Structure 1
Amino acid sequence: MNQPRFTLRQLRYFVTIAECGTLSEAASRLHVAQPTLSQALTDLERALRVQLCVRRRAHGITLTPSGHQVLRQARHLLRQAEDLESAASGQGSLTGVLSVGCYVTLAPTVLPPLLQGFSAPHPELTVEFSEDTQDVLQQRLLHGELDLAILYDMDVNPELARTVLHTVRPHVLLPADHPMADRSSVSLRDLEPEPMVLLDAPPSSHNTLAIYENLGLVPRVRYRPSTIETTRALVGRGMGYALLVQRPNHDRTHEGRRVVVKEIAEQVPSARVLLAWPRATRLNRRAEEFVRFCRENSAA
């Protein structure tokens, strides 16, 4: 077997440079001298016989196509190295870093209990999490920036493997003083003439509009906030109603205004919440344990 001409340290330096975008910021994060970092990058490019990035003094670094490919593999190798070190210690405890992404509207209710429950028996493990839209999270998964991501089963890339955590039915959010607020359920047909607050965080808006299209309805969209809290705030002020999937555990907006959740009278499809990861990547031990924990602690 041929001896690799590069080191794990060089790979770690390269990944940090790529994430920071400049040699100076990477050097600060790694606590090494910038010339040392620059030389390590040069040595790695020489060892791999490929240019990984274009260096511009005033504009930082830009990865080449080969650099993007090596970056993905470098992240994978570094995580495998962490697994090997953990296994060799003989302690059996999980160490290193697990990177988890979560769709922005799911994060407030789904992420905290999972993180707390998983971290308790694994105190030596660091769980880093990111909140974003599904398109961004899926790209980060495929680029090796995240180990796992919690998503809705909507527009999921076929290159991602997934397991179902649970399902949830969409609901209508109304201001507390709305004329239909005392009903057990409300009809989207009755709400159709009223102004709507459409949560515009992909794929939430696409899924909401598809529900109306399947019912032959056209909502009067007046506002398109990108966060669930702004959506709730607008509804709380009586500026429209909203159709949402994730259900918060409180009925007050940040301003203290009350909103009410109502079931939808029409038959609408439930949304599945998934845990996803790249099919082409073998899960490391940390990710495998998190998948197992989520499956055991979620009602699918």
Structure 2
Amino acid sequence: MSRFSLRQLQYFVVIAESGTLSNAASRLHVSQPTLSQALTELENALGVQLCVRRKAHGITLTPSGSQVLHHARQLLRQAEDLQSAAAGAGPLTGVLSVGCYVTFAPTVLPPLLQGFSADHPGLTIDFTEDTQDVLQRRLLSGELDIALLYDMEVSPELARTTLYTIRPHILLPADHPMAAQPTVSLEELTPEPMVLLSAPPSSHDTLAIYQRLNLVPRVTYRPTTYELTRALVGRGMGYALLVQRPANDRTYEGYPVVIKEIAEPVPDARVVIAWPRTMRLNRRADEFVRYCTRMLG
């Protein structure tokens, strides 16, 4: 039998995520000497050095430490599943780690978190917003249970199910000459300055639309956030091609913007929920997938 404990694995995961023993001790509400001793005992039990400890620079994982971290996260989740199975079909407990693509997180994530938490008050939901490439890396490393993504450039190592589809649109300042038209042609807009949301994979997909139409946009600005993109458009500094459709028709600064349908045929964007193929969904994640499918499908 292994000579390490689940608590030692838990301490190691928190130390790795916190970067320093002091931060980890604060999160776990234990003393630094206790954490240091647990880490040393885990290294002795496994026969490898998991991290390099530097007083001024915190801890740095060794290659072996990175591998152990991935498996430790899986073991801790399996331990939670075992406890849940032993309790039968009782209330959901434990922690569910959810990722969401940054541009649609403000419109999609809040109602899901609120509704699912109301149905399962004993469950803790940790969530993070980020770009698609970062979320996929965190899924595969075991940091996240599931993530809501666009069905674009998704790793074959991830399983996924479609939640809904949505058509891209053009965002214009309210005083733009084409703002009153029912539809707007990308070909007509191409000579004008464009504000390109540069948050992978949004930018790649946007440019692919132009490529299919044999058009070359005149990209003037490349903001990395959705709201800055809207703010630049609101000030009349260009138009944008976006997917998410927030209910508000004004920017943070109060400038009005309008959503216009695209005259040319463009493919719909699909929003999916994804998880590693090699990892069986635990009960918490499986219930969340069912809830998302029911609410967004």
Question: What's the TM-score, normalizing by structure 1?
Answer: 0.97
The aligned residue for residue 26 of structure 2 is: 28
The aligned residue for residue 5 of structure 1 is: 3
The aligned residue for residue 114 of structure 1 is: 112
Deviation of residue 57 (structure 1)?
A: 2.1
Matched, 1:181 2:179: yes
Give every structure 1 segment of 4 or more consecutive aligned residues whose post-TM-superposition deviation is greater than 2 Å: 83-91
Deviation of residue 91 (structure 1)?
A: 6.2
Give runs of aligned pairs for residues 150-189 of structure 1, distance below 5 A. 150-189=148-187
Matched, 1:138 2:136: yes
2:125 and 2:92 map into 1 onto residues whose CA distance is 11
2:88 and 2:272 map into 1 onto residues whose CA distance is 33
1:291 and 1:47 map into 2 onto residues whose CA distance is 37
Structure 2 residue corresponding to 1:57, chosen from 51, 55, 58? 55
Matched, 1:93 2:91: yes
Q: Secondary structure at the match of 2:194?
A: strand
- Give the fraction of aligned pairs with identical amino acids, expressed as a percent: 76
Give runs of aligned pairs for residues 132-281 of structure 1, distance below 5 A. 132-281=130-279
Structure 2 residue corresponding to 1:69, chosen from 64, 67, 70? 67
Further displaced range: 53-62 or 208-217: 53-62
Counterpart residue identity of residue 143, structure 2: E
Counterpart residue identity of residue 271, structure 2: V
1:289 and 1:72 map into 2 onto residues whose CA distance is 23
Counterpart residue identity of residue 43, structure 1: E
Counterpart residue identity of residue 10, structure 2: R
2:23 and 2:103 map into 1 onto residues whose CA distance is 32
1:40 and 1:126 map into 2 onto residues whose CA distance is 26
1:100 and 1:199 map into 2 onto residues whose CA distance is 23
Counterpart residue identity of residue 256, structure 2: R
Structure 2 residue corresponding to 1:282, chosen from 265, 280, 283? 280
Q: Secondary structure at the match of 2:125?
A: strand
Counterpart residue identity of residue 290, structure 1: F
Deviation of residue 78 (structure 1)?
A: 1.1
1:295 and 1:43 map into 2 onto residues whose CA distance is 44
Q: Secondary structure at the match of 2:291?
A: helix
1:143 and 1:90 map into 2 onto residues whose CA distance is 29
Task: Give per-residue Cα distances to partners, 1:16-56, cap 9 Å, x unaligned.
Answer: 10001111211122121211111111110111111111112
Q: Secondary structure at the match of 1:120?
A: helix
User: RMSD in angstroms over aligned alpha carbons?
Assistant: 1.1
Deviation of residue 89 (structure 1)?
A: 3.4
Structure 1 unaligned segments of length 5 or more: list them: none
Deviation of residue 121 (structure 1)?
A: 1.1
Structure 2 unaligned segments of length 5 or more: list them: none
Q: Secondary structure at the match of 2:207?
A: helix
Question: What's the TM-score, normalizing by structure 2?
Answer: 0.98
The aligned residue for residue 46 of structure 1 is: 44
